Amino acid sequence: MLGTLGVKLGELPQSSLAMLRSMLTHPEAAASARRLLGEQIDRVAGSLSGDDARLRAALMTLLMLGVTVGHQLLELDELRDVPQEELARLLRPGLRALAGPETS
């Protein structure tokens, strides 16, 4: 999951940015976002064990979505100038906790 951080914080295609901007206000964009996020959750959940694997995968995915929104759309100063490696270092413990001991 942290391996995708560079992609999420790098330049996103305009189509991805447009979907992020409109997913909360346009039903079609929301449906597309749900589908794409659902696919990502499926992939992450497939690598986790436990009855709550999908829930933990969803939390991991949405944590990364929040970081992406804060960086790409809100352009928060606190995220803007931080090297991706530093963000990954800070996110790693939380993502590992959600992944569970089997995938740490």
Res 34: pLDDT:
92
Digit-coded pLDDT (tens) for 27-56: 998 999 899 999 999 999 998 999 999 999
The pTM for the full model equals 0.80
83 pLDDT band (50/70/90 cuts)?
A: confident
What pLDDT shows up at residue 17?
79
The answer on pLDDT for 3 being more than 90 is no
User: Which DSSP category does 82 fall into?
Assistant: S
**Residue type for 89, please?**
R
Q: What is the mean pLDDT of residues 13-27?
A: 83
**CB-side neighbour CA atoms (13 Å) of 10:** 7
* Mean per-residue pLDDT of the chain: 83
Q: Which amino acid is located at 16 in the chain? A: S
- Predicted confidence (pLDDT) at residue 102 exceeds the cutoff of 90: no
- CA dihedral defined by 27, 32, 36, 38, rounded to 10 degrees? 40
